[in-house]
Chain A
């Protein structure tokens, strides 16, 4: 879309758009108009770039608007029209921020900077002192603990020759984050890289469930393990099922990438990009971990109209008894943001999100469902694959009487 055309599109966008059975407000720009050489990214492990808590919305991302990559947060009341932008990272090159709520009125933001992972409390629009969690580490993911007053953190950290997943708990001591109880998630295997972890508190197990990418079998698989707050993690189990059989002499398995996960009721749902049907690229698959803590059968999230197109950047969120997944694909000619949500009969038909679909490239969605089940969606737009980007936010809600789980 041509420079400036987004404002035109926003002007044309009605106050509320009905995308059956959702209603969406007008998109709100999180970043200034796209300008040459400026690129915004929503690409953290687990895609937790937006959080809503006690009437506030916080969006976190990385961009190079101050010459080198840095992490920013934008804060707005749920009913607001403008975001207040705050720089979160320090002077180093910073990437892959995530956010989650903590306490009554605060958020914790995590990111990678100069090869270390950091967190920082955000109360209102005021960031607290940064806290380094680990050096030689990246791909941080944060999850609010069951009390709401502490936060679990998982990241990928160098351990001798490979990178492995490490977890920790961040407690607030008089309002100041303090790192406690760090440990390796998998003590049983040392001979391969582990990356891109996602942490979810599993209410049914009263345990932290961690999902990550693992190359122990010389192809990428998803593994998961559950740990009680003070104990060890369980022996890792594979999450993704194997794809169709291949020629025996070549290759070691199908590809998977970039899991996201959410606690829903008393179980955990994970989604990821899966190339088991390799001719059409990655599809979005999901699996549920119930009381055993082990993920069960894998199921396709997207509908049949997505067949023949590759899907990217899956995120998931649960709130208010609802569960939704967002991703991008270009089945309609350019990349659009698509939404599917859980219904009594399974995943809904895919919905091209009004305001996040159409001309230009809408991609890299991240979503949060709040306690009322209302949707908070952020994504990036760009006129062409190498064009400058802009960051947008959209608020949506399921219409009364719409199908819910």
Chain B
């Protein structure tokens, strides 16, 4: 849902800017100590920074998200690496908040979850700066796993080998 903040005659640009700054509504629980962005803003930032996007599908009350937040995302090395090398995007997979896909299509965060088949939470998707999917992981993750994904994506290994090859030392 888009919310009117300045009245119907406000300029579109002003509304969009205000929306990006507005307090989150109907949002769930990203991990503490991280700066997550909306999907639109995260992809826009990636287009400028050329950093990969880390996409976190959660939902309010999600036990396995909570577990992963407290036991893996709380790790200082994970926090440092993800904050520094990724554009972080959090998507509430039950939310009706609207976003714009790179194709121009307008859908809700819930529908983005349908597209990425986020049928459970958490689901983590790493995207290249142009929005192309690199790696998808489902469910609880450890700090070591998150750090391994971080190396695979941020160091560009995904360009030459699968994650399975990378993690087994092949290729």
Query: In the bound complex, do residue A41 and residue B107 qualify as a contact, i.e. CB atoms below 8 Å apart?
Result: yes
Residues 36 to 53 of chain A near chain B (Cβ within 8 Å)? 37, 39, 41, 43
B4 CB to nearest A CB, Å: 3
Q: A69-B106, A135-B4 are in contact. Are A193 and B25 (CB under 8 A)?
A: yes
B138 CB to nearest A CB, Å: 10
Closest residue of chain B to A246 (Cβ to Cβ) is: B63
Interface string of B125-137 (1 = CB under 8 A from A): 0000000000000
Query: In the bound complex, do residue B25 and residue A220 qualify as a contact, i.e. CB atoms below 8 Å apart?
Result: no
Please, how many angstroms separate the alpha-carbon atoms of A195 and B25 in the complex? 11
The interface-forming segment of B33-41, B96-104, B143-151 is B96-104
A247 CB to nearest B CB, Å: 6
Query: In the bound complex, do residue A255 and residue B3 qualify as a contact, i.e. CB atoms below 8 Å apart?
Result: no
Q: A162-B25, A279-B120, A281-B119 are in contact. Are A139 and B1 (CB under 8 A)?
A: yes
B64, CB-defined interface residue at 8 Å: yes
Contact of A64 among B67, B98, B104 (CB under 8 A): B104
A127, CB-defined interface residue at 8 Å: no
Closest residue of chain B to A335 (Cβ to Cβ) is: B114
Please, how many angstroms separate the alpha-carbon atoms of A282 and B94 in the complex? 11
The interface-forming segment of B45-53, B54-62, B79-87, B152-160 is B54-62
Residues of B within 8 A of A116 (CB): 4, 8
Question: What are 24 contact pairs spanning A and B, CB under 8 A?
Answer: A37-B103, A43-B107, A69-B106, A95-B98, A95-B106, A114-B8, A138-B1, A138-B96, A139-B1, A163-B26, A193-B26, A195-B26, A215-B26, A219-B59, A219-B62, A220-B61, A247-B63, A251-B67, A252-B60, A255-B61, A255-B94, A257-B110, A279-B120, A282-B119
Binding site for B on A (CB under 8 A): 37, 39, 41, 43, 64, 69, 92-93, 95, 112, 114-116, 135-136, 138-139, 156, 158, 162-163, 193, 195-196, 213, 215, 217-220, 246-247, 250-255, 257-258, 275, 278-282, 310, 312, 385-386
